[in-house]
Homo-oligomer: A and B are copies of this chain.
């Protein structure tokens, strides 16, 4: 255990977002941190013009952050006229967050630092509460020092998570005693807020901050193996819905309306583009993992035209669903994870064609359809990034 592990207090920090002058300082500190994330190492002047704050104010804030070891000065960049600026950069060695994923047959942990760099990332087979807490424990032991500050922990799960970001409403694929898991994580990281979040939402968040949708403030992430899920990012933030269940696109009625879905209904998108439907379309069978299965399909497609035809059919239904989601949500980028990332253009090219056909108007621009680059740790990474959200928004105080 890490007896000296400090944590950003939750009850204190989240109490109010900004009403007193110290809340104002928090908000402005958050603005500076965001600017540093966005611009990279910057001088105080650059931060001042970018945030709109006065130079003097930025000076004070940067000094505080430096004292807290959240930022550090770098070597100056000479060559320009006038006094050279002294750039400061976010430091990655003090403030970290932990992102976890508990899935059906694997668990992952990602340690992310304030600079946005990934400190460590591990995955392991298994899907129990114990597997997860073991992984979390070793990630903390190895990569979080006694003097470090853990700003938060978030757990990604393939489940319907309520809007409170803490409780699970429905998780048909998981057999977990949630109360036990909460206890285990709570004792592992005492005094740290442990949030729970849907895995597709987390992955969407990761793609929009680190992955294929980086830079886009409106993105859609679609993942799929057996089931199909999505995460929606609007204006940089996740769309959660009233109960927290937004993005459950697998069972929307799109595609072949006669296809029988595992849920017992007909016409679900999943029944047209889920892994099983894809395998049926190419007349192949499942291997031990979804990843390996998809790779085998991709390999056969290189030589077998009938496999390519099957993927073409699946791709068209993929495009049909993306078209529905795009007309509703108007994202700039759509990122495809799960087995779609492995098959790539074999599926996405027909999807793009269908998408073009179904655009509402000439004025609309087709969203870019990209494959995920983050791999299996996407959800854990997004979970970690979510824990930094309140810090960067200035809702929580790093200092003191």
User: Interface on A for B, CB 8 Å cutoff?
Assistant: 15-16, 18-19, 21, 23-24, 27-28, 31, 51-53, 57, 160, 169-170, 172, 216-218, 230, 232, 234, 239-254, 257, 263, 265, 320, 323-325, 327-332, 357-358, 360-365, 367
Contact = CB atoms under 8 A, between A and B. Distances in A.
Contacts of A263: 360
Nearest to A268: B358
Given A170-B362, A358-B251, A363-B169, A330 B18 contact: no
A322 to B, nearest CB: 11
A243 B358 contact: no
Contacts of A323: 252-253
A63 to B, nearest CB: 18
A379 B329 CA distance: 20
Given A246-B329, A265-B357, A265-B358, A18 B21 contact: no
B327 A324 contact: no
14 contacts: A21-B21, A23-B24, A169-B363, A170-B363, A170-B364, A216-B242, A242-B331, A242-B367, A243-B330, A243-B332, A245-B363, A252-B323, A257-B257, A325-B328
A170 B361 contact: yes
A320 to B, nearest CB: 5
B329 A241 contact: yes
B254 A330 contact: no
Contacts of A246: 328-330
A328 B252 contact: yes
Closest 4 CB pairs of A and B: A241-B330, A218-B242, A170-B363, A242-B332
A254 B324 contact: yes
Among A216, A251, A320, A360: residue with most chain B CB under 10 A: A360
A160 B364 contact: yes
A327 B242 contact: no
Given A234-B241, A242-B217, A332-B242, A327 B248 contact: yes
Contacts of A265: 357-358
Contacts of A27: 18-19
B253 A358 contact: yes
Given A28-B19, A241-B330, A253-B324, A360 B248 contact: yes
A77 to B, nearest CB: 27
A28 B325 CA distance: 38
Contact of A254 (B52, B244, B247, B254): B254
Contacts of A52: 15-16, 19
Contacts of A15: 52
Given A21-B21, A241-B331, A245-B360, 13 more contacts: A19-B24, A19-B51, A19-B52, A160-B361, A170-B361, A232-B328, A242-B367, A243-B330, A245-B330, A249-B327, A253-B254, A254-B254, A328-B328
Contacts of A216: 242
A320 B18 contact: no
A182 B363 CA distance: 21
A170 B251 CA distance: 32
Contacts of A250: 360
A361 B150 CA distance: 36
